[in-house]
């Protein structure tokens, strides 16, 4: 049984912390309290401490100073991609368990350092792939794991937006993020596909990357941007072959002229049936399971998979479920659902897509 309430420190008090981590942790006051907040903009850390912190919560601008506090058990890393590795490694070395936002890192070398640090320190490390906790994803995973689809040999990982370039934060800054939609939303789709397949052994990757739409600012969901600041790709596509011959096709774009858009979704095909996530965004998901029965083609569309509705009318979101299982993994010494080795494989594949696109050649593992 849990013996104490965990003390959590959050590094990075921007959009992902305010929209995901803070609200989710606030609902789990029986398991943890937010004891420390750090941001290079001191005012953001102070505001977060006032709004979400425990009575004696502290605000920092230097994360290394925060890590000196031995009472902090857990660190949530919510900073730009390029800073994931150094902060995570330092936190693990300081004896803290770490939840790092996706993607694991901007490069496979950095992701490996994080993987090694977790193994070396014995502390838990997990990556913020909250889409695994959606009800459609949980059900689809059960269908795959139970063998209902047979031998899974083909998958599509969908991360396509029509015109929805994120114009806030550092999303278009290659130096801080390492890339554009591939590393931003493609990472979620690829994580889902590999998790459904239960396959983390890539053999080769072929990739194409496009920078075609930086000056096409009209009609963007999040408003226009300065084309001079758009220095990442706008679209990327990858063809991944696994060691057992299975194939994965990954498509990622913030601004593709396509009406059939899907984000954080995957389609899985096996010898006995298939399963597809439909819907333009993660919150509007429909799951269809297809197969053959009595000599006829059949399709099953499970109901009530958009969330868990309680009698009070409240709903546990995927962010809430992610935070709950993460804290329980620490309190009860369980393995977190998102394992660092799985996230490392995702990062290796994303990096290989960029490398293949740059060289024009397949990348072999």
Confidence (pLDDT) at 310:
43
Percentage helix, strand, coil for the chain under 3-state DSSP, each rounded to 5: 35, 25, 40
How far does Cα 26 stand from its chain's mean position? 21
Residue 48: C-alpha distances to residues 58, 68, 249 (Å): 10, 20, 40
d(CA 13, CA 327): 20
d(CA 158, CA 300): 21
How far does Cα 344 stand from its chain's mean position? 12
Q: Which residues belong to CATH 3.30.360.10 in the chain?
A: 134-317+346-364
d(CA 160, CA 280): 8
Confidence (pLDDT) at 306:
59
Q: Into which CATH architecture does domain 6-131 fall?
A: 3-Layer(aba) Sandwich (3.40)
Confidence (pLDDT) at 304:
74
DSSP 146-177: TTTT-SEEEEEEEEE-SS----STTTT-HHHH
- What the block records as the tokens of 145 is 């794991």
Confidence (pLDDT) at 3:
60
- What the block records as the tokens of 80 is 């730009």
Q: Which residues belong to CATH 3.40.50.720 in the chain?
A: 6-131
Would you give per-residue pLDDT tens digits along the chain (365 residues)?
446 899 999 999 999 999 999 999 999 999 999 999 999 999 999 999 999 999 999 999 999 999 999 999 999 999 999 999 999 999 999 999 999 999 999 999 999 999 999 999 999 999 999 999 999 999 999 999 999 999 999 999 999 999 999 999 999 999 999 999 999 999 999 999 999 999 999 999 999 999 999 999 999 999 999 999 999 999 999 999 999 999 999 999 999 999 999 999 999 999 999 999 998 888 888 999 999 999 999 999 998 775 444 444 457 899 999 999 999 999 999 999 999 999 999 999 999 999 999 999 999 99
d(CA 10, CA 48): 10
74 by DSSP, 3-state: which? strand
C-beta separation of 126 from 336 below 8 A: yes
Confidence (pLDDT) at 4:
81
d(CA 61, CA 329): 29
User: From 1.10.357.10, 3.30.360.10, 3.30.365.10, 3.90.550.10, which CATH number describes the 134-317+346-364 domain?
Assistant: 3.30.360.10
Tell the residue number behind the tokens 């990472």, with chain if given.
187
Give bridge partners of residue 339 from the DSSP assignment: none
- What the block records as the tokens of 19 is 């929209």
Burial state string for 156-170 with b = 16 or more CB within 10 A and e = fewer than 16: bbbbbbbbbbbbeeb
């Amino acid at each position: 049984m849990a013996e104490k309430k965990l003390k959590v420190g959050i590094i990075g008090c921007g959009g992902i912390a305010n929209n995901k981590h803070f609200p989710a942790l606030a609902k789990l006051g029986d398991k943890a309290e937010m004891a420390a907040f750090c941001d290079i903009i001191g005012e953001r850390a102070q505001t977060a401490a006032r709004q979400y912190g425990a009575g004696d919560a502290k605000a920092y601008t230097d994360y290394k100073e925060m890590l000196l506090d031995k009472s902090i058990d857990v660190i949530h890393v919510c900073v730009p991609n390029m800073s994931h590795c150094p902060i995570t490694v330092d936190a693990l070395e300081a004896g803290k368990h770490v939840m790092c936002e996706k993607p694991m890192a901007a490069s496979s070398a950095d992701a490996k350092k994080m993987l090694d640090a977790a193994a070396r320190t014995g502390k838990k490390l997990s990556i913020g792939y909250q889409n695994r906790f959606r009800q459609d994803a949980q059900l689809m995973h059960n269908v795959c794991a139970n063998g209902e689809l047979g031998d899974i040999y083909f998958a599509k990982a969908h991360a396509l937006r029509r015109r929805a370039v994120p114009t806030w934060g550092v999303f278009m800054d290659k130096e801080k993020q390492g890339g554009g939609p591939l590393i931003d939303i493609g990472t979620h789709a690829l994580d889902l596909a590999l998790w459904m397949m239960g396959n983390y052994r890539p053999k080769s990757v072929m990739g194409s990357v496009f920078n075609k739409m930086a000056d096409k600012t009209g009609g963007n969901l999040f408003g226009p941007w300065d084309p001079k600041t758009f220095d990442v790709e706008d679209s990327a596509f990858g063809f991944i072959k696994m060691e057992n011959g299975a194939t994965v096709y990954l498509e990622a774009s913030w601004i593709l002229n396509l009406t059939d858009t899907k984000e954080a979704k995957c389609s899985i095909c096996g010898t006995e049936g298939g399963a597809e996530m439909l819907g333009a965004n993660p919150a509007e998901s429909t799951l269809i399971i297809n197969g053959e029965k009595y000599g006829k083609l059949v399709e099953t569309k499970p109901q009530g998979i958009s969330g868990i509705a309680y009698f009070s009318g409240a709903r546990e979101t995927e962010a809430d479920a992610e935070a709950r299982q993460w804290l329980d993994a620490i309190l009860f010494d369980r393995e977190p659902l998102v394992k660092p080795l799985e996230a490392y494989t995702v990062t290796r594949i994303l990096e290989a897509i960029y490398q293949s696109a740059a060289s024009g050649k397949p990348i072999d593992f």
